[in-house]
Structure 1
Amino acid sequence: MLSPVTDADGAPFWRYAAQGELRVQTCAGCETPRFPPRPCCPHCHSFESIWRRTSGLGRIWSYVVPHPPLLPDYAALTPYTVAVVELADAPHIRLVGNLVAAPGAPLDSLAPGRVRIGARVRFAYDEGSGLAQWVPERS
């Protein structure tokens, strides 16, 4: 399986994710959240930032269901869903991750036919793969 590639700017995201927290880099000057992480604020050009904890809640903004041919490790898991999620407390921030039935569940654990744009989801971290995932919110 693939694992995330980290750099100095993005490493805190993965460190917090491994602790079960979804944090977003935020400018310490103008307090604008930004993703992907980067050294300079695109709004005020400050190089100072902090990592703010979010609620971990969001809505599916878009999604895709990959079909073979894929990387060999993923082909056997199709169909699975990759979602673009708009964060509830930072609506201009959108994150990508697999949509699964429960935290740590296999990639193919949620039938693609159950996925809907606008559906509420919550952040989860899969220790096995080291990847961020999204789980449907139960109302």
Structure 2
Amino acid sequence: MGALPTPVPSGLTEPFWAAAARGVLALQRCARCRRFVHFPEYRCPFCHGTRLAFEEVDPRGVVAAVTVVHRALLPGAEPPYALAWAELAVQSGLRFFAAVESGGARVAVGDPVEVGFRPLPDSGMLPVLRAVP
């Protein structure tokens, strides 16, 4: 992929992007039910608790769904490229969505991946899914 737009953090997502800038995957965790929540929310979708804090999580998981994009949807995206949902090992059903940075290798449902970070030209880091050998 080429030069992609730089994400613009909001008050809700700023802790996620600050962790990403350090090369760390941090997701919200509900203080009430202890479940991780992604994408960021103001209220836990499981128990409706309102105390959600970002915590570092294990970036490993497996591909749950993958698709190859043949027409660019974003400026700077050079097709073809793969997008995938990965179910993270830290919690059953917890999924993370990102482009697959595979170095030309294909990934399939069930393949091991981990969330990594790709530097952006302007600043910051973009989360990507990387195949694990």
- TM-score for both structures, normalised by structure 2: 0.85
Structure 2 counterpart of 1:17, from 12, 17, 20: 20
Letter in 1 for 2:83: V
Q: Which residue of 2 aligns with 1:128?
A: 120
Which gives a bigger RCO, structure 1 or 2 (Cα 8 Å, sep 6+)? 2
Contact 1:80 1:110 in 2 (8 A): no
Deviation at residue 5 of structure 1 after TM alignment: 3.6
Contact 1:57 1:122 in 2 (8 A): yes
Supply the distance in 1 between the matched residues of 2:72 and 2:17 (Cα, whole angstroms): 29
Q: Which residue of 2 aligns with 1:86?
A: 87
Question: Could you list the runs of 5+ residues in structure 2 that have no partner in the other structure?
Answer: none
Per-residue CA deviation, residues 31-90 of structure 1 (Å, 9 max, x unaligned), is 11111111112233221122222110011111111112544522xx22111111110112
Structure 1 counterpart of 2:111, from 111, 119, 124: 119
Q: CA RMSD in A?
A: 1.7
Counterparts of 1:1-139 in structure 2, within 5 Å, are 1-68=4-71, 70-74=73-77, 77-101=78-102, 109-111=103-105, 114-128=106-120, 130-138=125-133
Larger fraction in helix = 1
Contact 2:5 2:75 in 1 (8 A): no
Supply the distance in 2 between the matched residues of 1:71 and 1:98 (Cα, whole angstroms): 12
After superposition, the Cα gap between the structure-2 partners of 1:5 and 1:64, relative to the gap in structure 1 and judged at 3 Å, is: farther
Supply the distance in 1 between the matched residues of 2:49 and 2:73 (Cα, whole angstroms): 40
Size of the aligned set, in residue pairs, is: 127
Letter in 1 for 2:104: L
Supply the distance in 1 between the matched residues of 2:53 and 2:20 (Cα, whole angstroms): 15
